[in-house]
Amino acid sequence: MPYNEDLEYRLSQAITWLPKEVAESITKKKMFGGLAFLYKGKMTVGVVKDELMCRVVSGKMEEVLAREHVRPMDFTNRPMKEFVFVSGEGYRTEEQLQSWLELGIEHAEHALRK
pLDDT digits (tens, 9 = 90+) for 90-99: 999 999 999 9
Residue 42 pairs in a beta bridge with: 39
The number of beta carbons lying within 10 Å of the beta carbon of residue 91 is 24
**For the chain, how many residues are written?**
114
Q: Domains of the chain (ranges plus CATH)?
A: 5-113 (3.30.1460.30)
Predicted local confidence at residue 102, as pLDDT: 97
Predicted local confidence at residue 76, as pLDDT: 76
Predicted local confidence at residue 32, as pLDDT: 82
Predicted local confidence at residue 82, as pLDDT: 96
pTM for the complete prediction?
Answer: 0.93
Terminal Cα distance for the chain, rounded = 37
Which pairing describes strands 83-86 and 51-55: parallel, antiparallel, or unpaired?
A: antiparallel
Question: Do the Cβ atoms of 84 and 71 come closer than 8 Å?
Answer: yes
Predicted local confidence at residue 1, as pLDDT: 54
Residues of the chain falling short of pLDDT 70 = 1
- 99, burial (CB in 10 Å: exposed 0-12, middle 13-18, buried 19+): middle
Residue 73 amino acid letter: M
